[in-house]
């Protein structure tokens, strides 16, 4: 089969219609002015800045490699073997950060005599929102404990008095009970009555 010939309208449109580069887009283009649009603009600026830094870094790296090539080619093979391979270049920001980290241990590794270990600043205590309520709760708990102890003491005292009365009653009943001869035991009864009088007087 024969190859189809393209239409004249298509061939005329393609060379003339050249697309214009509009740059890259971040986020939707129809955002109203506000925090979202500012966020999108900030992201776009950061991306552009990073791209520029990378481009500059590549230029510097290419220039360094170009300058290092003539030196290595001029030397002998033994010199090439003894030289260490060039270390990979670091990003300037990373290099600055590493330099700062190296400087910090040097300062801390030489403590001066007489220096005390650093103490944290004692900030004033934050106001406790429940301090008053917890103090009231503790006070009420202490009062409840005191009341419970008082009630327990009174109950013990009452029980001991009841038990003593019961013993006295039984002893008195036993003393008033007539003996084998039918007479009352006045000796026992008098001792019990004497104890009762002493308690009343004392």
Structurally, the chain folds into a number of domains equal to 2
HEC string of 69-94 equals: HHHHHHCCHHHHHHCCCCCCCCCHHH
Q: How far apart are CA 182 and CA 185, in angstroms?
A: 9
Write down the pTM of the prediction: 0.31
Say how far apart CA 41 and CA 30 lie, in whole Å: 13
Residue at 52 is within a domain: yes
In the three-class reduction of DSSP (H, G, I as helix; E, B as strand; rest coil), residue 62 is classed as: helix
Q: Which of 14-23, 67-76, 107-116 has the highest mean pLDDT?
A: 14-23
66 lies in some domain: yes
Domain region containing 178: 143-201
| Distance of alpha carbon 105 from alpha carbon 87, whole angstroms | 24
Average pLDDT over residues 99-117: 60
Q: Residue 142's closest CA among 134, 130, 153?
A: 134
Q: How confident is the model at residue 81 (pLDDT cuts 50, 70, 90)?
A: very low
Domain for residue 26, yes or no?
no
**185 contacts 175 by C-beta, under 8 angstroms:** yes
- 58 in any annotated domain: yes
Does 147 reside within a domain? yes
Quick: pLDDT tens for 20-40: 777 888 888 888 889 999 999
pLDDT band of residue 107 (cuts 50, 70, 90) is very low
Q: Above 80 in pLDDT, residue 119?
A: no
Q: Give the domain-ending residue among 75, 103, 131.
A: 75
- Judged against a pLDDT cut of 50, whether residue 185 lies above it is answered with yes
If one compares 77 and 30, the residue with the highest pLDDT of the two is 30
Residue 66 pLDDT > 80, yes or no?
Answer: yes
Round to whole Å and give the CA distance between 109 and 103: 10
- Tell me the average pLDDT of the chain: 79
In a domain, 57, yes or no: yes
Q: Would you state the pLDDT for residue 183? A: 75
Q: Mean pLDDT, to the nearest integer, of 175-182?
A: 77
For residue 135, being part of any structural domain is answered with no
**DSSP string over 179-196:** -TTS---HHHHHHHHHHH
The CA distances from residue 52 to 142, 163, 199, in Å, are 72, 101, 108
- The pLDDT assigned to 36 comes to 92
Q: Tell me whether residue 12 is in a domain.
A: no
- Tokens standing for 25? 């887009």
């Amino acid at each position: 089969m024969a190859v189809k010939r393209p239409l004249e309208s298509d061939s005329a449109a393609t060379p003339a219609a050249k697309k214009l580069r509009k740059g890259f887009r971040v986020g939707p283009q129809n955002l109203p002015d506000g925090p979202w649009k500012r966020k999108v603009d900030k992201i776009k600026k950061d991306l552009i800045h990073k791209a520029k830094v990378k481009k500059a870094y590549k230029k510097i790296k290419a220039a360094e490699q170009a300058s290092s090539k003539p030196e290595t080619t001029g030397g002998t093979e033994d010199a090439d073997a003894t030289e260490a391979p060039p270390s990979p270049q670091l990003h300037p920001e990373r290099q600055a950060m590493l330099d700062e980290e190296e400087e910090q241990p040097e300062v801390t590794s030489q403590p001066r005599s007489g220096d005390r270990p650093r103490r944290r600043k004692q900030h004033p205590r934050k106001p406790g929102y429940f301090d008053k309520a917890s103090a009231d709760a503790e006070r009420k708990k202490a009062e409840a404990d005191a009341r419970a102890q008082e009630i327990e003491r009174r109950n013990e005292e009452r029980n001991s008095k009841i038990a003593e009365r019961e013993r006295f009653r039984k002893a008195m009943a036993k003393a008033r009970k007539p003996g084998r001869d039918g007479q009352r035991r006045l000796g026992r009864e008098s001792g019990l009555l004497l104890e009762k009088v002493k308690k009343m007087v004392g």
